[in-house]
Amino acid sequence: MHVSVVLFTSDLRLHDHTPLHAALDSADAVVPLFVRDRAVAAAGFDAPNRSAFLADCLADLDASLRERGGRLVVRSGDLVEEVCRAVTEADADEVHMSATHSAFAVRREERLRRALEADGRRLFVHDAVTVAVPPGELTPSTSDHFAVFTPYFRHWAGARLRPVVAAPRRVPVPEQVKGEPLPGRGEVTGVSPALPPGGESAGRKRVAAYWRRGLDAYDATRDDLAGDTTSRLSAHLHFGTLSPVELVHRARRRGGPGAEALVRQLAWRDFHRQVLAARPAATRLDYRTKRDRWRSERTAGAEILAWREGRTGYPVIDAAMRQLSQEGWMHNRARLLTASFLTKTLYVDWRIGAAHFLHWLVDGDVPNNQLNWQWMAGVGTDTRPNRVLNPVTQAKRYDPDGTYVRRWVPELRDVGAPAVHEPWKLPGPARAALGYPDRVVDLADGLDRFRRARGGTEREPRG
């Protein structure tokens, strides 16, 4: 019997899974394998929210495979060693997996290829599984990657996407390959109380619901903090329970401004991956340095702690940071505001903020997280690196009634708009009765500090 191993990584689904589709086409049976790679834990990437969400994803994937006569084999340890062990046990000829694009993943893939070839086995790596357009497929004439999104998007929008493949009807799995018990969400401590469920089933339900009542208005409402009208698909894209190729095809068939705006966000995701594939050091180093002398934990410890805990005295910032710890997620507009506040208003190293986000975010995706933080810090791909977002102006624009603030900052639940966004302006007794912290910095002082550090700044545009 001809057997193939399908190694699942950040592609935890059955719909539009080209490695599984190819393996089933070429073999009599397959071993669906997921390895809990100890190197991921050693690097600190197994944060509680993502570990809990991953447990849901694996349970859902196993259930879907069992409906098709199969099962998921889970192992723990060194990924290369565990894959080779499963290959030997199954007497498999080949391994199929999705292409991944981080420096760590590329090195791991090469280790696996060498180990398999040394044993006479083959590794097949399938692209466009975790992205719509793979890194390196689109390049300008003068560089190995696009450094600015707009020209990248023009090329990306014209790229030919592969067709979507259906979920298999049957997945036969050989009996002799055994796995360990599936991890459970309940085994993970430190999880955000309102963390949503993971898994392909939950992801596809979310897509169906959003297509019915959110997508068409996405372009007009995606910055509405209180309305919470974003897709919330980011965690499912991170774990691969949804296919970006399938989403782009479906959105384009739907058409309209909302669908076009969603497609553009998926392009941003691919853009960051092609930047990081070309410049892997940008996970920790400035993409375009401004030679900042950032404040650190030593020099700004109290203000950093206030930012982390949502006690800066700026209600929209505090609401966003509290949402992060409660849900393991944050509204995109709020991510921009909190990052601008930390890096521009407090002039704190962007890496401190990026690390905090990676600890809490269930969609803690290294390319998006690190490069979006660099964008807001003005050391990334932003063509206007000195822009500063005013949290009060932004709050009044995107949370005019104060609903978002009051949802997450109960100290201000009885304060109406617009005062809810500037509680420091309330009369003394009313202000004292709130039990809400004073501002950690005056905005003008923060702006002046940043202006002196950068030699001039650009305020946010009007409108």
Q: What is the structure's pLDDT at 223? A: 96
For residue 458, pLDDT over 80 is answered with: no
For residue 439, pLDDT over 70 is answered with: yes
Contacting residues for 311 by C-beta, under 8 A, at least 6 apart: 318, 437
Q: Which residue carries 């071993």 as its tokens?
A: 31
| Backbone angles phi and psi of 318, in degrees to 5 | -65, -40
* SS3 assignment, position 388: strand
Q: What is the structure's pLDDT at 455? A: 82
Residue by residue, what is the 3-state secondary structure of 240-271? CCCCHHHHHHHHHHHCCHHHHHHHHHHHHHHH
Q: Which residue carries 């357009």 as its tokens?
A: 133
Q: What is the structure's pLDDT at 228? A: 85
Which whole number is the average pLDDT over 74-103?
A: 96
DSSP for 146-164, please give it: -SSHHHHHHHHHHSPPPPP
Rounded CA separation 354/62 (Å): 33
- Cβ-contact 389, 340 below 8 angstroms: yes
* SS3 assignment, position 127: coil
Q: What is the structure's pLDDT at 457? A: 53
Q: What is the structure's pLDDT at 461? A: 47
* SS3 assignment, position 1: coil
- Cβ-contact 171, 69 below 8 angstroms: yes
Tell me the whole-structure pTM to 2 decimals: 0.96
Q: 3-state DSSP: the chain helix, strand, coil percent, rounded to 5?
A: 50, 10, 40
For residue 81, pLDDT over 60 is answered with: yes
Q: Which stretch of DSSP H or E encloses residue 322?
A: helix 315-327
The pLDDT > 70 percentage for the chain reads 98
pLDDT digits (tens, 9 = 90+) for 353-403: 999 999 999 999 999 999 999 999 999 999 999 999 999 999 999 999 999
Rounded CA separation 346/344 (Å): 6
User: Which among 366, 369, 44 has a CA at the least distance from the CA of 377?
Assistant: 369
The better pLDDT of the pair 46, 412 is held by 412
For residue 159, pLDDT over 70 is answered with: yes
Average confidence score pLDDT of the chain: 96
pLDDT digits (tens, 9 = 90+) for 22-64: 999 999 999 999 999 999 988 888 999 999 999 999 999 999 9
Which whole number is the average pLDDT over 132-153?
A: 97
Amino acid identity of 434? L
For residue 322, pLDDT over 90 is answered with: yes
**296-303 contacts: CB < 8 A, separation 24 or more?**
296/348, 296/349, 296/352, 297/352, 300/346, 300/347, 300/348, 302/440, 303/346, 303/348, 303/440, 303/441
Q: What is the structure's pLDDT at 101? A: 87
Which whole number is the average pLDDT over 262-269?
A: 98
Q: What is the structure's pLDDT at 20? A: 98
Contacting residues for 410 by C-beta, under 8 A, at least 6 apart: none
Contacting residues for 426 by C-beta, under 8 A, at least 6 apart: 415, 419, 434
| Cα dihedral 245, 219, 308, 203 in deg (nearest 10) | -40
For residue 463, pLDDT over 50 is answered with: no
Q: What is the structure's pLDDT at 73? A: 98
Q: Any idea what DSSP says for residue 100?
A: -
Rounded CA separation 286/378 (Å): 9
pLDDT digits (tens, 9 = 90+) for 440-451: 999 999 999 999
Strands (E), 188-241: none
Which whole number is the average pLDDT over 74-83?
A: 98
Contacting residues for 163 by C-beta, under 8 A, at least 6 apart: none
Rounded CA separation 320/411 (Å): 15
Cα distances from 65 to residues 3, 93, 99, in angstroms, run: 17, 22, 22
Q: Taking the CA atoms of 253, 227, 204 and 268 in sequence, report the sign of the dihedral they define.
A: positive
Rounded CA separation 275/430 (Å): 50
Rounded CA separation 436/429 (Å): 12
418 preceded by cis ω (within 30°)?
A: yes
| Backbone angles phi and psi of 244, in degrees to 5 | -65, -35
Q: What is the structure's pLDDT at 317? A: 98
Q: Strand 94-98 relative to strand 73-77: parallel, antiparallel, unpaired?
A: unpaired
* SS3 assignment, position 67: helix
